[in-house]
Chain A
Amino acid sequence: MINILSSILILAGVFFYLAGSIGLLRLPDLYSRLHALTKADNLGLGLLIAGVALQSQDLLIMLKLLLVWLSVLAASATSAHLIARQARRQETGS
């Protein structure tokens, strides 16, 4: 039962990763690409981590996985903003 559940979670995660990358290729300008990439990849990683956490019986490993996910969430949210602002600044040449 656990295996089926984690398989579903992991495959859903991979689906969101692919959606993020396809969005990256097809969307017209930088800001929508950044938007799509950050959202889809974070959700994909969250599902992937949930699937992998189910597989590991050790609580310590689960807590470390949670730390990885929270730091990726916080990091990519702020990085996306910083990148967009920097690109904006370079376009307007300020």
Chain B
Amino acid sequence: MNSAGLIVFDALLLLSIVGLAWASLATTDVRRSIILFMALGLVLAVAWGRLLAPDVALAEAAIGAGLSGALLLAAAHGQPSPLPPESTNAPRNHGAAGMGMVLRWAITLLCAALAGTLVWALLHAFSNPQHDMLPRAISANLAASGVSNPVTAVLLNFRAYDTLLELAVLLTAVLGTFALGQATPGYRPAGLVFDGLVRWLVPVLILTAGYLLWAGAHAPGGAFQAGATLAAAGVVLRLAGRTRIGLPVGFMLRMIMAAGVGVFLLVGLTLLLLGRPFLGYPPAWAGSLILMIETAAMFSIAATLLLAFLGGQPESTDVNAVANRQREEDPRC
């Protein structure tokens, strides 16, 4: 009974995932598409839990539903109100109609062909036996890696280069956002209920982030999930209209943004000076080194994702923040 139940469960779950993805792309109303995309993020988090990938489920829940949804909605604020869906699909003149329709069908068929070849390749790959060389190698050296959670061991020890460069990619993306312009306008101070939600939600999010960071060594969790949870706490504060969302200003902000890559490089270089390979942690100190790197990475990921949500350099320095606050509470204007 157990496996039959699982198959029916999987079929319904996958139908929900494909249905949400299709609905999110079938509409021309941007807000509706984003809201459905956020729902898809939540269902995907359940799917990763079902596929025994709790680390990925934590990251998907924190980033897929929370952060990218909030990012997209903030960007969608400026969109004109949606035209009735039919009118945008209906082509303007008859000549283009034929062309438009043929083009749409051609693209759809091409995408179906792409999916078909992928499925054919997959079925081919699944037919030959899976030789688990990599997982066996990982579990063999897990003891020397300093952590007992295999995913954290892969991320922070065996493939430390990959994570170092990923933190550099994150930093570059935010520097690009800074170069492109000022932060998006803030949010109106929230009503009573929203404030009530923020008052308990932000502390619990911060506590969960600390717990995830600490648990990352022996259980699913780690710097990415913790950083994303912290960023979600900052996003909620910003949505509630608060001008001070825990981000330092000026030099300190830049230090925190660069902390992830900086600490990683410093650890690598000092190990190099001590005669070990660039990121080859000595087994005795591996655990504490990884924890140090993860703490720095958590803060820089949280700051980076929050600045990405702000959309640019936070324009309100502390002085302005106070000025903004007075202007908001001033009954006259």
Interface membership of A32, Cβ < 8 A: no
Bound Cα distance from A71 to B205, whole angstroms: 11
A78 adjacent to B204 (CB under 8 Å): no
Give every chain A residue within 8 A of B204 (Cβ-Cβ). Answer: 67, 71
Interface membership of B196, Cβ < 8 A: yes
User: How far apart are A76's CB and chain B's nearest CB, in angstroms?
Assistant: 11
User: How far apart are A87's CB and chain B's nearest CB, in angstroms?
Assistant: 11
Bound Cα distance from A52 to B271, whole angstroms: 48
Interface membership of B101, Cβ < 8 A: no
Chain B: CB-nearest residue to A90: B31
Interface membership of A5, Cβ < 8 A: no
User: How far apart are A20's CB and chain B's nearest CB, in angstroms?
Assistant: 16
Chain A: CB-nearest residue to B195: A78
Chain B: CB-nearest residue to A80: B193
Give every chain B residue within 8 A of A74 (Cβ-Cβ). Answer: 197, 200-201
A82 adjacent to B193 (CB under 8 Å): yes
Interface membership of A88, Cβ < 8 A: no
Give every chain A residue within 8 A of B200 (Cβ-Cβ). Answer: 74
Bound Cα distance from A11 to B201, whole angstroms: 30
Interface membership of B194, Cβ < 8 A: yes
Give every chain A residue within 8 A of B193 (Cβ-Cβ). Answer: 78, 81-82, 85
Chain A: CB-nearest residue to B198: A78
Interface residues of A toward B: which range?
Answer: under 10
User: Number of residue pairs across A and B with beta carbons under 8 Å?
Assistant: 19
- Binding site secondary structure of chain A: helix
Give every chain A residue within 8 A of B196 (Cβ-Cβ). Answer: 78
Give every chain A residue within 8 A of B201 (Cβ-Cβ). Answer: 71, 74-75
Give every chain B residue within 8 A of A85 (Cβ-Cβ). Answer: 191, 193
Bound Cα distance from A75 to B191, whole angstroms: 16
Bound Cα distance from A82 to B191, whole angstroms: 9
Give every chain B residue within 8 A of A75 (Cβ-Cβ). Answer: 197, 201
* A14-73 interface (Cβ within 8 A of B): 67, 71
Bound Cα distance from A85 to B196, whole angstroms: 15
Bound Cα distance from A75 to B204, whole angstroms: 12
User: How far apart are A79's CB and chain B's nearest CB, in angstroms?
Assistant: 8
Bound Cα distance from A78 to B198, whole angstroms: 10
User: How far apart are B261's CB and chain A's nearest CB, in angstroms?
Assistant: 34
User: How far apart are A24's CB and chain B's nearest CB, in angstroms?
Assistant: 14
Bound Cα distance from A81 to B196, whole angstroms: 12
Bound Cα distance from A85 to B194, whole angstroms: 11
Give every chain B residue within 8 A of A71 (Cβ-Cβ). Answer: 201, 204
Bound Cα distance from A78 to B191, whole angstroms: 11
Bound Cα distance from A32 to B194, whole angstroms: 21
* B167-210 interface (Cβ within 8 A of A): 191, 193-194, 196-197, 200-201, 204
Which A residues lie at the B interface, using CB under 8 A?
67, 71, 74-75, 78-79, 81-82, 85
Q: Which 10 A-B pairs have the closest CB atoms?
A: A78-B197, A81-B193, A78-B193, A74-B200, A71-B204, A78-B196, A82-B194, A82-B193, A75-B201, A75-B197
7 new A-B pairs (CB below 8 Å) besides A75-B201, A79-B197? A67-B204, A71-B201, A71-B204, A74-B200, A78-B194, A78-B196, A85-B193
Which B residues lie at the A interface, using CB under 8 A?
191, 193-194, 196-197, 200-201, 204
Listed by A's residue number, 19 A-B pairs whose Cβ atoms lie within 8 Å are: A67-B204, A71-B201, A71-B204, A74-B197, A74-B200, A74-B201, A75-B197, A75-B201, A78-B193, A78-B194, A78-B196, A78-B197, A79-B197, A81-B193, A82-B193, A82-B194, A82-B197, A85-B191, A85-B193
